[in-house]
Amino acid sequence: MNKNSALSVELCGLKLDNPIIPASGTFGYGYEFAELYDINILGSFSFKGTTYEPRFGNPTPRIAECPAGMLNSIGLQNPGVHAVINEELPKLKKVFNKKVIANVGGFSVEEYARTAALLDECEQIGLIEVNISCPNVHNGGMSFGTDPKAAAEVTAAVKKATTKPVFMKLSPNVSDIVAIAKACEDAGADGISLINTLLGMRIDLRRKKPVLANKMGGFSGSAVFPVAVRMVYQVYEAVKLPIIGMGGVSSADDVIEMMLAGASAVQIGAANLVDPFVCKDIIETLPAAMAKYGINNLKDIIGGAHNG
C-alpha cells in the first residue's frame, strides 16, 4: 500500500493526507510557520479563533508556565472576521494550498451565526469549528459549552448560517461531556472537536497574587492528555459523529492513542509553542510508529479501543 494513503483520513467529505492539524490559537493564520517549513505537509490547520468584531484580548500577563503544560488567558485576540477574510486568507493562500479549518468564537448566538455566514463564502475554508467555550454575555458570562441547551442553540444557528460542515469544539469544564456532545448532535452538528483547555490558575509566591491578570486561564499541555483521551472515548461511545481529538498531544504515539479512543483526526496545540516543528516531526514519525504497533492504515484504528 502507498505509504501516504495509509495516513489519509476524512472529515465529513474533507480528505486529509494525514490526521495532523495544528490547533486554533497555536498556529496563527499559518504563514508564520510557513517560513519554517512547507506547511502543505499538514492534514489541515485550524486558524486563530475569529470573532465578528476585532478583539484586543485580555490584559497582560496572560501566559503562565506550569509543570507539563501552560496557562493562557489570551481572550480571543484577533483582527475580526472581515480582516481575516480580506487580509489573512489571501496571505495564507500564497503558502497553503489545502482547505483550512475556520475556528469561530462568539459572545451571543447571533454573533456566531453572523461570523459563520461570512466565512461560508470563503472557498479556502473546508469546515467550521465552533468554539463554545466563550462566555455567553446574555447569560451572566457562563460558557455556552457548559449547558446542553445553549450548546444546541449555537449549533442550530451556525448550521442554518453555513453550508460547510460544522464541528462543535467542546469545553472539558463540565461534569457530563456526553450530554453536551449529544445536544450538539441532536441540533445538527456534523462533528465534534474536543477538548478545549481546562480551567487552571497559578499564584506568584513573591507577590502572593495570581500570575495571570485575569486570575484564571486555560490549562493545556501534556498534563491534560489523559483527560482528553477519556473524553474522546466517552463521546465516541455516545454519538455517531466524527471527532477531532486534542489536548496534550505531542507525539506520534499520542496521535495513535487518541485515534484508538475514537478521533478521526488529531489537533496539536500547546506543543507547537514549545517546538514549532512538532507537527512536521509527528507526520514524519507516524509511519514508524504505525509499523511498531502493526498498523497498516490509520483509518482502520479509529475507535479501535472500543472493540471487545
Q: What are phi and psi of 169, to 5 degrees?
A: -95, 115
Q: What single letter denotes the amino acid at residue 255?
A: V
Outline where DSSP puts E strands in 221-308: 243-246, 265-268
Share of the chain above pLDDT 70, in %: 98
Q: Over the stretch 286-298, which tens digit does the pLDDT of each residue have?
A: 999 999 999 999 9
Share of the chain above pLDDT 90, in %: 93
Question: By the 8 A CB rule, do 259 and 237 touch?
Answer: no
Is the dihedral angle over the CA atoms 55, 56, 60, 66 positive or is it negative?
A: positive
pLDDT of res. 142: 76
pLDDT of res. 175: 95
**The CATH number of 5-306 is which of 3.20.20.70, 3.40.50.300, 1.10.3720.10, 1.10.10.10?**
3.20.20.70
Q: Over the stretch 107-156, which tens digit does the pLDDT of each residue have?
A: 999 999 999 999 999 999 999 999 998 877 777 777 899 999 999 999 99
18 pLDDT exceeds 60?
yes
Question: Residue 220: which H helix or E strand, with range?
Answer: strand 217-220
Q: How confident is the model at residue 70 (pLDDT cuts 50, 70, 90)?
A: very high
For the chain, the average pLDDT equals 95
Question: By the 8 A CB rule, do 176 and 138 touch?
Answer: no
pLDDT of res. 1: 38
Active site residues: 134
Torsion region of 216: left, alpha or beta (phi above 0 gives left; psi -120 to 50 gives alpha)? beta
pLDDT of res. 139: 74
39 pLDDT exceeds 90?
yes
Outline where DSSP puts E strands in 8-154: 9-11, 14-16, 20-22, 63-66, 69-72, 100-104, 125-131
How many Å apart are CA 243 and CA 266, to the nearest integer?
9
Question: By the 8 A CB rule, do 245 and 177 touch?
Answer: no
Q: Over the stretch 234-246, which tens digit does the pLDDT of each residue have?
A: 999 999 999 999 9
pTM: 0.96
Q: How confident is the model at residue 2 (pLDDT cuts 50, 70, 90)?
A: very low
Is the dihedral angle over the CA atoms 294, 299, 300, 303 positive or is it negative?
A: positive
Question: Residue 279: which H helix or E strand, with range?
Answer: helix 278-292
Q: How confident is the model at residue 3 (pLDDT cuts 50, 70, 90)?
A: low
Torsion region of 243: left, alpha or beta (phi above 0 gives left; psi -120 to 50 gives alpha)? beta
Q: How confident is the model at residue 308 (pLDDT cuts 50, 70, 90)?
A: low
pLDDT of res. 227: 98
How many Å apart are CA 282 and CA 301, to the nearest integer?
17
